[in-house]
Structure 1
């Protein structure tokens, strides 16, 4: 195994540097032929240019035109100035058993449903310090709009306040606002709520994304990127969150009970900029976004659905085919992303194996590109332990690469679209992000979608004490989370 790794590394370096190996002999030959006669030829060329000034001016103008056209139409860099993840207070912290007891205040659960949730809680990968909203921590479950709004305001304002504090950006400087929350969409919208609370300027460009699942955070990043290509010298504020108050399931359908065991309170605020002056203080630059949508096919569309059960209780139903669907969408996503990020050595291997399988009909396994060569860090949506186990196997990742995702699931639970930012914050708190490192964020969502974003670190990122939710306990991680076979629905 070790010999194969060394041989592959040697192959990778050979292909990556092949152009230099080929150019070296040519440069040697060119240097041998370089003589005084060549200098005379250059001198003659200079004399000729001096005698034909109009043609030189025309050539310079044409070169300047095309250079200016390229600069004006080349996509402007999008910088991630900073981000902030909300960390609830001690009053919202619950153990696995305490969270179950709170949900069991619902008298509609049968003994079988209670037993199923208890077994699921043991297998889902959550730890003993996740967070629930105040509405689920009282003597009765309160799923009112008042409590839902209270939870959302606590999370959103908490994350944004800390982000503004650490970056020093003024509210009047925000030109683009994008909010994503899949299952809670009140009127006025959450984007209007933020505009009202922070008194954002009247011409702020605002979007409110709903119903797009756990991958909506990366959809927001892609939308912000496209918007920042149009508007110059602009800040974009992204807010990713989910509401737990209105989305606890109180029925007995097993396909809907899983969400009670996974989803917890959380949210993140992200500040993007296209201002050249922000490059020196930004953490990352966005290099790629890839969105894959399979909603045209019923098999994918019906995989995650919000609906009423047979007794009229509202919940989110997860199909038994969720893992296979996620695998197919992931394959489609990385097929698009691969050529953008993988070195030529990996693309060459992939094409050779594809040729052998499709053209020569050889019965060999398809080649899975080694994304560890393209990325130093992986932030995979902490949707559940089964999802993380499957991606670890499919992408051939090591436990070190999966650590941010597994520890985020353990410490904070599934916080929906914001989980990717808790994972990146974990890597920062561990001091792992070095200048030039590449980070791959990947998330799945209802519809069914798979979205990716790739960032490159502009400097060695050191975790601050204020904006990082891990900073006061990072030395306690990683912890061992035993692998278990997931419970069938």
Structure 2
């Protein structure tokens, strides 16, 4: 039985039990009233209703904390170094080098991004072992920091989800983590590949379904990683050369629980809404971002010219479903009135959310266009633009680097809500709304922006 079918059955069972307990409670109250029993007996059905509600209602999901990797300084690739590297490796023709130079210099990416050791070599020829070593370099510092911050032992993890779009070894990446940290034998582990920038929210969705069915304290760990050693394309197809220009190393880890405030910790965030949609049934959307082999037999990840329109259509349909869920009543009312009048109206998402994290997957102009579609002022996109400038596109982990930026700048306050929007190949769009449940102080030493925060946002201009 797959997860979606099991979830559907659980939802039906939950509604049936809730309805049955309500009918039972009302029936008992009527019986007690007409039996002229002592009024104190009326408390019995009330107690039973509260009892059933407690044990049948799903547990809330909370985000305890998260960590993002700051790669080692010696892996830094300044733009001039990277452009020279393209020439020296002698894998690219002049047209390909000219195309990548134009994309990189106009993209808004900065001088502090990182590539794995195998791609620093001349000529680069990464092996499977190089890629495994890169995964170790990404996973272990990130998870060590998270376990140290939260004081949660690896043996306390009940669910592990690891996602990486382009590398799927055997044993799996999730098995590498389980083996390294000697996790318990009954840990549920999942390995997600090929899901792109939206995979982190998919991992949290899996964790949410795992946690909400448990009343005892449980933990889930979601790891998002961008592994590049075997991902570079050295052919002539410009659609596939974009990955070389924009994607960089990155890793994030999120610890989730089904418990709120306890004696040992209080989570930072509460999961409020999670929505997933996709357009994979549409051929154009399906083929707009795809891993394929070209005529010379070289494999690369293609991003078609029409991907902008495909993403815009996907996001529009997604927000149409999301808006009624999160917007206040007055915005919903305005939206309905404008629709009836056949007029265009952009709902005020800023009235429901304080911060937005979206994939920093392209040029600043495109990022600002997406923000405009959400009705956001350019200042609200500072974290997105800063993340792309400092770290490049790190696939699913980029959203957590934006969260870290907001925290480091002191912009995240108690009761603030943040919208995370992940867009992945397929195409699919996933959104997550988190609410900050407490104020907290930030240790910049454990924050990926600790060494450069004072430069932003000025250095982006």
**TM-score by shorter chain over 0.5:** yes
Alignment equivalent of 2:391, drawn from 412, 415, 421: 412
Aligned-partner SS, 1:471: coil
CA positional deviation for 1:459 = 1.1
Kept in 1: contact 2:86–2:97 (CA 8 A): no
Kept in 1: contact 2:408–2:444 (CA 8 A): no
Structure 2: where are the runs of 5+ without partners? 1-31
1:23 corresponds in structure 2 to none
Kept in 1: contact 2:90–2:123 (CA 8 A): no
1:224 corresponds in structure 2 to 207
Stretch moving more, 223-232 or 400-409: 223-232
CA positional deviation for 1:275 = 2.4
1:51 to 1:195, Cα distance in 2 relative to 1, 3 A: closer
1:170 to 1:184, Cα distance in 2 relative to 1, 3 A: same
Kept in 2: contact 1:285–1:456 (CA 8 A): yes
| Partners of 1:84 and 1:320 in 2: CA distance | 35
1:125 corresponds in structure 2 to 108
CA positional deviation for 1:76 = 1.1
Aligned-partner SS, 1:54: coil
Alignment equivalent of 2:368, drawn from 389, 395, 398: 389
CA positional deviation for 1:476 = 1.0
Q: What number of residue pairs does the alignment pair up?
A: 427
1:59 to 1:390, Cα distance in 2 relative to 1, 3 A: same
| Partners of 1:354 and 1:170 in 2: CA distance | 52
Q: TM-score, normalised by structure 2?
A: 0.89
CA positional deviation for 1:113 = 0.7
Alignment equivalent of 1:262, drawn from 218, 222, 246: 246
CA positional deviation for 1:58 = 5.5
Alignment equivalent of 2:341, drawn from 327, 349, 356: 356
CA positional deviation for 1:175 = 0.7
Alignment equivalent of 1:176, drawn from 150, 159, 170: 159
1:233 corresponds in structure 2 to 217
Structure 1: where are the runs of 5+ without partners? 1-48, 358-363, 483-489
| Partners of 1:461 and 1:381 in 2: CA distance | 26
1:137 to 1:329, Cα distance in 2 relative to 1, 3 A: same
| Partners of 1:300 and 1:414 in 2: CA distance | 21
Question: Does the alignment pair 1:90 with 2:73?
Answer: yes
Structure 2 counterparts to residues 303-322 of structure 1, below 5 A: 303-322=288-307
2:13 corresponds in structure 1 to none
2:14 corresponds in structure 1 to none
Kept in 1: contact 2:225–2:251 (CA 8 A): yes
| Partners of 2:451 and 2:253 in 1: CA distance | 20
CA positional deviation for 1:255 = 0.5
| Partners of 1:253 and 1:267 in 2: CA distance | 28
Alignment equivalent of 1:470, drawn from 429, 449, 453: 449
1:308-335 Cα shifts (integer Å, max 9, x gaps): 1111111100011111111111112111
CA positional deviation for 1:137 = 0.9
